[in-house]
Amino acid sequence: MPVGESDKGFGAGKGQIYYTIHGSATYINWSHEALGNEPFSHSGSLNTYLIRPGVLYGLSNKWNLIVHSTLGVREMHWKRPEASIHHRDETTLSDFINAQGSVLGDTRLILRYIIQNTGMGKGFRIYAGPGITIPSKSVLISNPFFLEGDEQKEHRHFSLSNGTYNSVMEGQVYYRRNENPVFIGGFFLFEKPLAESEFGFLPSKITTLSFSASFMNFDQRESSMDYGISLVHASQGYWNSLPAPNSKSLTIIPSIGYLFNTSFGGVSINLQKPIYISGAFASNEGDIEQRSVVWQLSSSLRFLPTSN
């Protein structure tokens, strides 16, 4: 399985079912300059813990249906003694003045066409298909940047969902070999909102390019060391047709993982280090000078398939 991607790099035959679980923990330690009527530096950490259960079902030998949901929590830890209208200790489990809380994140459905699939043998695995992202109720319900010039009041900047239905297009090309690297390739993913949310938010279009290679250890666990790199571009987002600060960014994400087989399926443990080439993470204030350190730890489990 590609680094941290339990639903990629393989296809199911007609009637086959694969079950996947992907878990991740993301830590962002951030700080920025004094802001507005708050003449002190701001600092804190934004932590995100997600579980993404999924299923991949073989509708036929050429078409697969992938469905996965997101459960989790995003939490802010405020590291200053002063009170702030911008930050505080809080999580996405609770409602706030401009936010609805929930443990449920987005759900994604993808209809994947199998262009070529060599199964466990040597050769290419090529897949492509469209999909849709269905939003949850964990959303921001008003503009947290006060772009219309209103008086700034207490607000929250983060949620689990953007609140929009998004179209998705993906493509995958992988090649399996008998010598190291035994599995090489990558995927392309493009996600675009179909319209702004009911609260006036139009999120960024997200383009992801990811490449990975697996080096087999040839041991009893059939384990491998996996190395990858991803490039993620986020376009300009908007609140009520006004440009949203921090929404546009370019991020490079190197990763390393360890994959091993068990009696019930394949397990992968991965470490990612997102690095902002331009822009900054979006769950913060407007166009300000901010600093951040980001790490992500994830694990994936793919259950062995069963046949109907």
Per-residue model confidence as pLDDT tens digits over 138-190: 999 999 988 787 778 999 999 999 999 999 999 999 999 999 999 999 999 99
Per-residue model confidence as pLDDT tens digits over 180-189: 999 999 999 9
pLDDT of residue 3: 62
pTM above 0.85, yes or no: yes
pLDDT of residue 283: 52
CA distance 59 to 81: 56
Least Cα distance to 256 among 239, 269, 244, 238 occurs for 269
Query: Largest alpha-carbon pair distance within the chain?
Result: 65
pLDDT of residue 222: 86
Least Cα distance to 98 among 158, 136, 137, 141 occurs for 141
| Domain locations in the chain as residue ranges | 16-307
Least Cα distance to 11 among 134, 121, 108 occurs for 121
| Residue whose structure tokens are 């600093």 | 291
Start-to-end CA distance of the chain, whole Å, equals: 24
Q: Could you tell me which CATH class the domain 16-307 is placed in?
A: mainly beta
Mean pLDDT score of the chain: 91
CA distance 201 to 196: 5
CA distance 217 to 49: 31
Per-residue model confidence as pLDDT tens digits over 247-267: 999 999 999 999 998 887 889
Per-residue model confidence as pLDDT tens digits over 29-52: 998 877 777 888 889 999 999 999
CA distance 167 to 205: 10
pLDDT beyond 60 at 285: no
